Amino acid sequence: MPRVKRAKVHLKKRRNLLKRAKGYKWGRKNLIRLAATAVVKAGVRSYIDRRLKKRDRRALWQINISAFAKERGLSYSKFTHLLKINKIELDRKILADLAANHQAVLAKILEQIYPVKSLRDAKRI
């Protein structure tokens, strides 16, 4: 059986590992054993945090929509219910953007689905 010399492959793996560990503190940036575990753990955290980011964004969108609805005398749940009843299928991301940047447009949509003469009438429902 011929002898296998793997210097090229071995060095390439180490180089790639240390490139991914660049910027880490202490020995984790230049010691292979420590860098390997640090890179694996960082990969796990990044996977988890990508999901958490989606959760956080959705919560922020709901807060923005809720603030808009509260100004108009509605709760978030009643507002979304009215949208659903009237078959307006805008997702939370778009609704939050409208609430933050284009309140007049969202107010027109609200007028169409929920005609109210005054805020006093809105609080009864």
The DSSP letter of residue 27 is: G
Q: How far apart are CA 93 and CA 21, in angstroms?
A: 35
Q: How far apart are CA 62 and CA 50, in angstroms?
A: 19
Q: Which residues of the chain have pLDDT under 50?
A: none
| 4 to 9, 11, 66: CA distances (angstroms) | 11, 15, 66
Which distant-in-sequence residues (6+ apart) come within 8 Å of 119 by Cβ? 72, 73
pLDDT of res. 45? 96
pLDDT of res. 114? 86
Whole-prediction pTM: 0.72
Nearest to 123 by CA among 87, 71, 88: 71
Cβ contact 40:58 at 8 Å: no
Q: Could you report the per-residue pLDDT of 30-58, keeping only the tens digit for each?
A: 999 999 999 999 999 999 999 999 999 99
pLDDT of res. 1? 85
pLDDT of res. 98? 97
Domains defined along the chain, listed by start: 7-52 (no CATH), 54-124 (1.10.1900)
